[in-house]
Amino acid sequence: MQKEAAIREPLILGHKTYHDITEDVCRPIEDKAPKMWYILFGIALIVGLYGVGCILYLLGTGVGVWGLNKTIGWAWDITNFVWWVGIGHAGTLISAVLLLFRQKWRMAINRSAEAMTIFAVFMAGLFPLIHMGRLWVGYWVLPIPNQFGSLWVNFNSPLLWDVFAISTYLSVSLVFWYIGLIPDFATIRDRAKKPVAKKMYTILSFGWSGRAKHWNRFEMVSLVLAGLATPLVFSVHSIVSFDFATSVIPGWHTTIFPPYFVAGAVFSGFAMVQTLLLIMRKAMSLEAYIHTKHVEYMNIVIMVTGSIVGTAYITELFISWYSGVEYEAYAFLNRATGPYWWAYFAMMTCNVISPQLMWFRKLRRSLLFTFFISIVVNIGMWFERYVIIMTSLHRDYLPSSWSMHYPSPIDIGVYIGTIGLFFTFFLLFARFFPVLALNEIKSILKGSGQSYKESPDYHKNH
């Protein structure tokens, strides 16, 4: 057990015992689901299925059902892709980077954040698949031996790097998440009374027995995976940004993109974590574990990354003028003052101004304000991608090809659908999986629990 300075705010509020923690985390799984869960799940499922319907129509008819045209080959599809990938970043950052930095507050949020990562990457991965004109030959992007005259993939293409980056990211995140879940599944297994549930959790917990050897291996594997996942936090979105940075299109061709995208991703990811957890702590009565301090920590991350993003926007503007490149200058002038000025305005307001409000302690500790800002940031970050992708394309080099983009109902349907699917997954996760890393939380109870902090001898009595 580590000692922690007494002036640090406790991470676990109230007079919790180990058993209380187990009870608190397992209760939603073991109890009957509340009515609200069914309502939310129903809505999410319907929206998700509508999205699936739109996707089937898209696949049956052709990419033409979207609002793309000869000038704008990507718009909502890749915007959504980048947005979802970005959202995913927070989970990995929390579980890997914060683990390496021994940030104990992460334990309250890492499980849900990782789940969010995985579901967000699912949603993200969907878009590059369905945006293809011929999905049925999409496996050609994999460098597999073939008999098409030994055709190989093009290793120059950033889109191919994406394939590797996203698939690696998804598999590492999934494994990391699952490893963390094993001890918790075992706890649920041990408590489960219904035979089906018991059987399921037995399978899921991989025969975990809680022996010291198991814990030892668990720690080792977690550390190794954290080491593996940490570079991914930076590489995935860097590579996603290469899709644009390596191109020749003014507004895309920007060397600042990799750090700017990573910061943006963490920014939007934390916002999404806030959105989800602020609801979850209330709905699942986890206020003792996820409280103002956690929210404040996350808001600080949002503030820092938001400032990086803001700096990047302004740097871009400066460089567009300083470079003296006619096309570059116009691309940014057009972003700010052209037909899509409102998207740029939305992006600037949401992403540059709103995180600066977090300098105020009062605001960053306000849960309601945080919830509001988290939504604003995610809207802003969607617009950021839309602005980068779409406004750069819609007026590039030859004015003869300049065009406008109007989303079709299918564009909107697919996007809304992925939000529905995401929440469907997340609600299932909240219902059947331990939403807090309960065994890990226990490890900080005596170091950072409120009771133990307030009366250091508390544990002697309990």
Partner 1 sequence: MANTKKYWKGIDELNETKSFQESKESEFSQSNSIESFLADDQLSESSTGRRDFLKFLGFSVAAATVAACEAPVIKAVPYVMKPENVTPGMPTWYASTYYDGASYASILVKTREARPIFIKGNKYKKDGKHFGITKGSVTPSIIASVLGVYDSERLKSPLKGGKKSSWGTVDKEISAAIQNANKVALISNTVISPSTIDAISELRSAVKGDLEHIQYDAISYSAIRKANELNFGKSFIPSYDFSKAKTIIGVNADFLSTWLMPTEFAAQYGETRNPESDSGWMSKHFQFESVMSVTGSNADYRAMTKPSEEEAVLKYILAGLRGMTGTIPSNLKKEADLAIKSLQEHGKESLVVCGTNNTGLQQLVNEINDQTGANKFTIDLYNELFMFQSEDEKMMNFVKGIESGKYDVVLFYNSNPVYSFPKDSLKKALKSKKVKVTVSLNSHSDETGSLCTYNCPDHHALESWADYRPKTSHYAIAQPTIRPLHDTASALESFLVWSGKVERGGKDSTVAYDKIKETFSNLSDADFKMVMHDSCVDLPQPMFEDTISFSKKNLEPMPTIGKGVEVIAYQKSAIGAGIHANNPWLHELPDPITKVTWDNYITMNPVEMRKAGYKTTYDQENGLSMAKVAVDGVSVTLPIYPLPGQAPGTVGIALGYGRGGNGEKIGKSAYQTAEYGGYEVSKNGKPKSIGANVFPMLSTDNNEFYYSNSGTLTKVDGEYIIAATQIHHTVMGRHSIVRETTKEIFDKKGKEAYNPAHTLQTLDDDLNHVEKPVSEFDIWDAHPVENVGHRWGMSIDLSSCIGCSNCLVACQSENNVPVVGKDEVRRGREMHWLRIDRYFASDEEAAVGTKKNKDSFSYDQAEIAALNPKVVHMPMMCQHCNHAPCETVCPVAATTHSNEGLNQMTYNRCIGTRYCSNNCPYKVRRFNWFNYPSYKKFTEINPAQDDLGRMVLNPDVTVRSRGVMEKCSFCVQRIQATKLKSKIDNKKVEDGSFSTACADVCPTNAIVVGDWNDIKSEIRTSSESDRSYQALEEVGIRPNVWYKVKVRNEQNNLLSKLQVEKKSHHGSNNKHH
Contact set with partner 1 (CB under 8 A): 61-64, 67-74, 128, 131-135, 137-138, 140-141, 148, 151-154, 156-160, 163, 243, 246-249, 326-327, 330, 333-334, 393, 395-404, 406
Report the nearest approach of partner 1 to the CB of residue 126 (Å): 15
CB 55 within 8 A of CB 414: yes
Report the nearest approach of partner 1 to the CB of residue 171 (Å): 19
Report the nearest approach of partner 1 to the CB of residue 154 (Å): 4
Report the nearest approach of partner 1 to the CB of residue 136 (Å): 9
Report the nearest approach of partner 1 to the CB of residue 351 (Å): 24
Measured from the CB atom, the residue of 60 and 195 that comes closer to partner 1 is 60
The DSSP letter of residue 145 is -
Owner of token pair 């590059």: 128
C-alpha 269/C-alpha 377 separation (Å) is: 10
Measured from the CB atom, the residue of 16 and 131 that comes closer to partner 1 is 131
User: Who contacts 405 (Cβ-Cβ below 8 Å, separation ≥6)?
Assistant: 67, 68, 69, 72, 75, 390, 393, 394
Measured from the CB atom, the residue of 138 and 447 that comes closer to partner 1 is 138
CB 172 within 8 A of CB 249: no
Work out the angle between the directed axes of helices 158-191 and 195-204 (0-180°, nearest 10): 130
Sign of the C-alpha dihedral, residues 139, 143, 147, 148? Answer: positive
How many angstroms separate the Cα of 109 from the Cα of each of 60, 103, 287, 324, 356?
Answer: 41, 11, 12, 47, 23
Q: Which stretches within 148-211 are classed as H helix?
A: 158-191, 195-204
Report the nearest approach of partner 1 to the CB of residue 261 (Å): 17
Measured from the CB atom, the residue of 159 and 182 that comes closer to partner 1 is 159
Measured from the CB atom, the residue of 340 and 452 that comes closer to partner 1 is 340
Measured from the CB atom, the residue of 338 and 447 that comes closer to partner 1 is 338
